[in-house]
Amino acid sequence: MASGDEKRRLTILGSTGSIGTSTLDVIERLGGRKNFEIAALTGNGNIPLLAEQARRLGAELAVTADAERYGELKESLSGSGIAVAAGRSGLIEAAERDAGWVMAAIVGNAGLAPTLAAARRGAAIALANKECLVSAGSLFLEAVHKGGARLLPVDSEHNAIFQVLENEQRHAVERIILTASGGPFRTKSLEEMRHVTADIARAHPNWSMGLKISIDSASMFNKALEMIEARHLFGLRPDQIEVIVHPQSVIHSMVGYSDGSVLAQLGCPDMRTAIGYALSYPKRSALPVERLDFAKLARLDFEAPDEIRFPALRLARRAMEAGGVQGAVLNGAKETALEAFIKARIGFLAMAEIVEEVMDALADLPAAATMDDVFAADEKARHTAAGLIE
């Protein structure tokens, strides 16, 4: 990765989550402290893991997003020489550290401000946080362009498109096709889905992910958010974005061109592939991931998504077509409904029903001129959803 004494400086925002731990695994397999310097690591409530990561990789700064856990993190890193910070200001401090490459893997709106800070100083951003594009969209991209930053998508679907989207042929792109596994309820009826619990919904058939993203995958809200992200990432119209259910999760996404050609990126389902590509870009590095055995694979299946059982896809199209702050409204309402489902306060199917009701109620919100407008729309959506749940 590095030559001579030259080391790449990295910051990992959200190092204790599933994307963050996979990122550190890739870093260590590509030489660890021999090839990389860790400017900062951030986490939330898992202080023991954050402290262990910081010591193991020799981070200069460790930050917990929970300001009340500052003392605990400080004590855990006592005598290490590692600086400690906490809260929103600490996350921004981490993002502003001199690091050429930043993994933006903080989940939720908490990731917006630090990722913006990294964009404004021109970092290469490995983007795993969804809110930056779903909620902030054009405002976030404006900050990226003004700061001279570069976005490297980490979601497996967007990373796949990034790999096969030929820059010199962008004029010839007709469509992109995002693949979806269909999750654990691909073949379930509406009546069966009505009674599932969070523990059942979290059991993804192909990917190993955190609780919330696993449930979002089961409801296909994760795919809905990816549709909105893709529109912003690749400058597409809503009608150019398609979704196909592909149970094997071997083809991660495709790009269709005006000559009828379709280019696809394939690989075994392992987030380290996308992370490693973003970390090594524009080169490729050897990664210890499983290789595809086509003879063993034998078949690839595809089917159209059922938007009656999975209305999240329809709601994403509605948000894209409406524009403005509707992405923030959808996401804020979804997050509130998801929390309620996890706590068994509402059923699985009620999540999409609540999101649609919130979008109906807030359809006339004005477009965002500032990030404060985005946060205000998100807060209004969460408040409206909470009222419906009560």
226 marked as binding residue? yes
Answer whether 250's CB lies under 8 Å from 300's CB: yes
Sign of CA dihedral 264, 269, 271, 272: negative
Tell whether 261 is in a known binding site: no
Q: Which amino acid is at 152?
A: L
Residue 130 annotated in ligand binding? yes
| Tokens linked to 269 | 């389902």
199 is in an annotated binding site: no
Question: How far are the Cα atoms of 186, 188, 284, 312 from residue 349, in angstroms, in the given order?
Answer: 14, 12, 42, 10
Residue 285 labeled ligand binder: no
Is residue 157 annotated as involved in ligand binding? yes
222 known member of a binding site: yes
232 is in an annotated binding site: no
16 is in an annotated binding site: yes
| β-pairing verdict for 8-13 and 101-104 | parallel
Structure letter (DSSP) for residue 303: B
CA-closest candidate to residue 81, choices 55, 106, 104:
55
Q: Which is it for strands 83-86 and 124-127: parallel, antiparallel or unpaired?
A: unpaired
User: Is residue 135 a known part of a binding site?
Assistant: no
Confirm or deny that 217 is annotated as ligand binding. yes
Give the three-state DSSP class for 49: helix
Cα distance between residue 287 and residue 304, in whole Å: 33
Is 167 annotated as ligand-binding?
no
H/E element holding 245?
strand 241-245
Residues annotated as binding site for Mn(2+)? 155, 157, 226
Residues annotated as binding site? 16-19, 46, 129-131, 155-157, 181, 204, 210, 217, 222-223, 226
Residues annotated as binding site for 1-deoxy-D-xylulose 5-phosphate? 130, 156-157, 181, 204, 217, 222-223, 226
Residues annotated as binding site for NADPH? 16-19, 46, 129, 131, 210
